[in-house]
Homo-oligomer: A and B are copies of this chain.
Amino acid sequence: MGDVAQRLAGIVGEQHLLTGDRISDDYAGDESLVGPPAKPAYVVRPATADEVAAVLTTAAEHGVPVTARGAGTGLSAAARPRPDGLLVSFERMNAILEIDTTNHVAVVQPGVTLSELDEKTAEKGLGYTVYPGELSASVGGNVGTNAGGMRAVKYGVTRHNVLGLQAVLPTGEIIRTGGKIVKTSSGYDLTQLIIGSEGTLALATEVTVRLHPRLGHGATVLAPFSDFDQVMAAVPEIVSSGLAPHILEYIDAFTMAAITYTAQLSLGVPDDVREASQAYLVVGLENRDADRLDGDVETLGELLSGLGASDVYVLDGTAARKLIEAREKAFWTAKAAGADDVIDVVVPRAAMPEFLTRAREIAAKSESGVAGCGHAGDGNVHLGIFQKDPDKRANLLHDIFAVGMELGGAISGEHGIGQVKKEHFLELEDPNKIALMRRLKQAFDPAGILNPGVLFD
């Protein structure tokens, strides 16, 4: 056993240090479709923040690159380790430490899965409202990528729902930021800086998340549109209406066909309407009062009809649940359909039609396919990319990302840059901002051990 391995075994215990053949394929990457997985030289499974701190100190001393891993459900290879590196897996730090029903927060370890947190908070009538579509994801992973999901249109993304962190700096110190408080103006907001930093600044070892009361009544409304632009034009009207939907998704006809076929789901849309539809809106409403919900559904129906929907379907509970699940699994459907990449550009809500038109034109020119769905209320467009040739695909992505940024958006709304979009990020982003971000990285991580190759080269 080498020197590094010996030190690591001394910290986490021999059974929680994995090397060589003891490292399973799972640890070699996340769900990104791009590039080969890579097994690391070491995997550690620490149990405490102190162990994480000792691991990072050891890594810094020996110049070993460190990648953090939650559940490995990321889509940008931010949790794909370096072959010579050390993977810190948070699978053993998976306790819900507290559900505080007075302050409406939960304090959890980073390895807790969203499904477990969802179940445990539901027992108290509360919920953590970040639903990135994959409930096996971990809270620590949410923090790393600033995860979003369908409910963000009402409840915001991870950064709006994480109030505090315990984090280990790559220099070995353990700090606490924020807390069970919804506001603070007492120095720089380190919580917000660490969120979305994709494991390059610090490793979260405890997360204080905000909980919201669960509202007892919900409805899901499906509206097919024969004109794609009308779907997009309807979105800001629904946002303005004051109905405050917690789900506001668009699904293009191709993607709807694929996800309903995969889920063997019949939505009761007649054949002629379906064949004439270019896209669909899915709108979720919720209320603490059943009568008010009914009133809102009616108002929404009238609004949608006035905005050009071919029809409006209020889905029954089972169909609604299945459709939302199928939408959440759209990534898997795209993967099964042979997509070569999946991206999630975010643009100003009103710029979605132009963005999608131009993205399709760019794709057509390079004989590529793009199809998708997205968090329409947030302007966050998820596209499956169908182009086998890596060079053509790289050019295609570059051009699509450039259009998104030209329209005032960003490369990723919630998936992150990771390793796989880094090249485009570094090329398209303002060099002054990249330089500043590098200086911030240096301020946290002078030895450069945390996730080298993610965000920056």
Contact = CB atoms under 8 A, between A and B. Distances in A.
A411 interface: yes
Contacts of A242: 213, 215, 288
Of residues A148, A190, A196, A409, which shows the largest number of chain B Cβ atoms within 10 Å of its Cβ? A196
Given A197-B188, A213-B242, A436-B169, A152 B183 contact: yes
Contacts of A213: 240-242
Contacts of A415: 185
A387 interface: no
Contacts of A236: 102-104
A181 B347 contact: yes
Nearest to A172: B432
A348 to B, nearest CB: 4
A193 B196 contact: no
A346 B177 contact: no
A161 to B, nearest CB: 11
Interface stretch (A35-43, A110-118, A328-336, A437-445): A437-445
A184 interface: yes
A100 interface: yes
Interface in A186-213: 186-190, 192-193, 195-197, 201, 213
B181 A348 contact: yes
A183 B437 contact: no
A173 B439 CA distance: 14
Given A103-B236, A413-B181, A187 B437 contact: yes
A170 to B, nearest CB: 11
A186 B348 contact: no
A439 to B, nearest CB: 4
A273 interface: no
A193 B183 contact: no
A188 B181 contact: no
Contacts of A440: 188, 193, 440, 443
A211 to B, nearest CB: 10
Contacts of A442: 443
Nearest to A242: B288
Given A242-B213, A440-B443, A443-B436, A184 B412 contact: yes
Contacts of A430: 175-176
Nearest to A237: B102
B159 A192 contact: yes
Contacts of A159: 189, 192
A338 interface: no
A239 B101 CA distance: 11
Given A188-B437, A213-B240, A183 B102 contact: no
A127 interface: no
Interface in A130-181: 145-148, 152, 156-157, 159-160, 169, 173-177, 179-181
Contacts of A185: 145-148, 157, 196, 410, 412-417
A380 interface: yes
A433 B349 contact: no
A10 interface: no
Given A160-B160, A433-B175, A443-B439, A455 B346 contact: no
A378 interface: yes
A128 interface: no
A386 interface: no
Contacts of A225: none
A267 B103 CA distance: 31
Contacts of A410: 179, 181, 184-186
29 contacts: A100-B350, A101-B240, A104-B236, A105-B348, A146-B183, A148-B183, A148-B185, A156-B183, A157-B182, A157-B183, A157-B185, A159-B189, A175-B430, A175-B433, A176-B430, A179-B408, A180-B408, A181-B410, A182-B378, A182-B379, A183-B414, A185-B415, A185-B417, A186-B425, A189-B193, A213-B240, A215-B242, A292-B292, A436-B443
Given A180-B348, A187-B429, 15 more contacts: A102-B349, A146-B185, A146-B189, A160-B160, A176-B430, A177-B433, A179-B409, A180-B408, A181-B346, A181-B409, A185-B415, A187-B434, A187-B437, A188-B193, A190-B437
- In order of increasing CB-CB distance, the 8 nearest A-B pairs are A439-B443, A192-B192, A180-B348, A102-B350, A173-B432, A184-B410, A186-B410, A242-B288
